[in-house]
Structure 1
Amino acid sequence: MNRTITNEENEQLFHFCRRHYVYHYDVQIELVDHLASAIEEQWEQNPELSFDEGLKNAFKLFGIHGFSNIKKQKEKELKRKYNRLLWKYLLKFYRWPKVITTFVCTLGLFLLLQLINQTMWFVGSYVVLLLFATVLYHHFVFKKMKLQIVPGKSFLLADQLQNSTQVYIGIAQLPNIVYQVFNISGVKAVENSLILFGISFSLVLVTVLLYGQLFYIPKKIKEHFIEQFAEFAL
């Protein structure tokens, strides 16, 4: 019968990961799995090999930056995963039947911009309202979105939730961007019907995208966390 990693040795592998500056539990799980498999493969060839020696050999396979590279890879995987979810969520609003609502909102905004003939002020007001809404979000909603985790545990997935709700930092740049666009194109140019429709389309698109980033994605991350690590959620 082939020798396998015991529960005590498994705990030593977790401790080994922490000693090498891997603090996220979900990353530790992946590394421990790799290390355990590498050690057991060595035992198939040499059952008398000690656990410590097997661990030392397994660690060499990762190289000097092996652990940090795996962490970076895991971060990229999570980012890609939730970016794909966000785009799928967004595309729902441009497919049947939700596209009807999206089109009606875009058309209504387009007609309003034509009616008031004050595109620059309208867009400026929208940006200010957006900034105000994100301040309220940060102070009142953000705290509720945070994952409540048992003390002493850190998760990369929880960090992803934190990052997904930091979008309001980018929103703070919108006033300057909007000003530059109007400054370059000129106020009269943006009164063109085609450009007005483009502005209306963009405002609706940004609104849907922000809602997905601030509410839909955090909800999905929390669901995935509870599915995978229910014992660590409070």
Structure 2
Amino acid sequence: MNRTITNEQTDQLFQFCRDHYVNHYDIQVELVDHLASAIEEQWEQNPDLSFHEGLKNSFKKFGIYGFSKIKVQKEKELRRKYNRLLWHFILEYYRWPKVITTFVCTLGLFLLFQVVDQTIWIVLSYAALVFFGVLGYHFFVFKKFKLKIIPGKTFLLSEQFEKVNSANVIASQLPNISYQAFNMMETKTVDNTWILLALSFFMVALAVLLYGQLFYVPQKIKEHFLEQYAEFAL
């Protein structure tokens, strides 16, 4: 009968990961599974091999950087995963039937540019709306999405949640960026129809992007966390 990893040895593998500076539980689970499988494979060839010797041999395969490469790789995977989800969400607004809403908003902005003499006031009003909207979100809405985890556990997935929301800091600079852009052009009005149409498209697309970044992606991260680690949520 082949030897298998015991519960006590599994606990030792978790402690081994913590001793090697792997503090995120979701990465620990992945590494413990990998180490346990590697040790059991060695036992198939050499049943008398000690657990600690098998662990030592398995750890050597990770190379000079140890477990750090696994964390970096996992971070990239999570980033790509939620970036794909975000882009899928955005593209939905440029496909039927949601494209109707996007088209109407873009056309409405374009017509507003035709009516108002000074383009800068529409752009600055939009930038201010985004700024106060993001500010209000972080003070009043963000806590509804925030992951509540039992003390003593950290997860890379929860860190990804924080990074998704911290990425919206640029929105707070939008009024200043818009004002500086018009100063560089030394004008307050844009007369070119194609530029106004492109500006309308950009402003609507940015609104969709921010909505996806602030609401859709955090909700997905929270759902995925509860699916995988519900026992660690408060």
Pairwise TM-score range, normalised by the shorter structure: over 0.9
Q: How does 1:127-146 map to 2 (within 5 A)?
A: 127-146=127-146
Query: Would you say the 8 A contact 2:107–2:200 is kept in 1?
Result: yes
Percent of matched pairs sharing the same residue? 67
Q: Which amino acid aligns with 2:232?
A: F
Q: Which residue is 2:167 aligned to?
A: 167
Q: Which residue is 2:96 aligned to?
A: 96
Report the number of matched residues.
234
- Deviation at 1:173? 2.9
Q: TM-score, normalized by length of structure 1?
A: 0.96
Query: Would you say the 8 A contact 1:93–1:102 is kept in 2?
Result: yes
Q: Which amino acid aligns with 1:70?
A: I
- Deviation at 1:131? 1.1
Q: Secondary structure at the match of 2:9?
A: helix
Query: Would you say the 8 A contact 2:120–2:188 is kept in 1?
Result: no
Q: Secondary structure at the match of 1:190?
A: coil
Unaligned runs of 5+ in 2: none
Query: Would you say the 8 A contact 2:102–2:204 is kept in 1?
Result: yes
Q: How does 1:198-209 map to 2 (within 5 A)?
A: 198-209=198-209
Q: Which residue is 1:61 aligned to?
A: 61
Q: CA RMSD in A?
A: 1.3
| Deviating more after overlay: 105-114 vs 117-126 | 117-126
Q: Which amino acid aligns with 2:23?
A: Y
- Deviation at 1:167? 2.7
Distance in 2, matches of 1:225 and 1:9, equals 26
Q: TM-score, normalized by length of structure 2?
A: 0.96
Distance in 2, matches of 1:114 and 1:12, equals 69
Q: Which residue is 2:72 aligned to?
A: 72
- Deviation at 1:86? 0.2
Q: Which residue is 2:177 aligned to?
A: 177
- Deviation at 1:222? 0.5
Q: Secondary structure at the match of 2:128?
A: helix
Distance in 1, matches of 2:61 and 2:117, equals 66
Q: Which residue is 1:3 aligned to?
A: 3
Query: Residues 12-64 of structure 1, C-alpha deviation per residue, up to 9 Å, x if partnerless?
Result: 10111011110111010111111111111111111101101111111111112
Tell me: CA distance 1:177–1:2, structure 2 relative to 1, closer, same or farther (3 Å).
same
- Deviation at 1:216? 0.3
Q: Which amino acid aligns with 1:89?
A: F
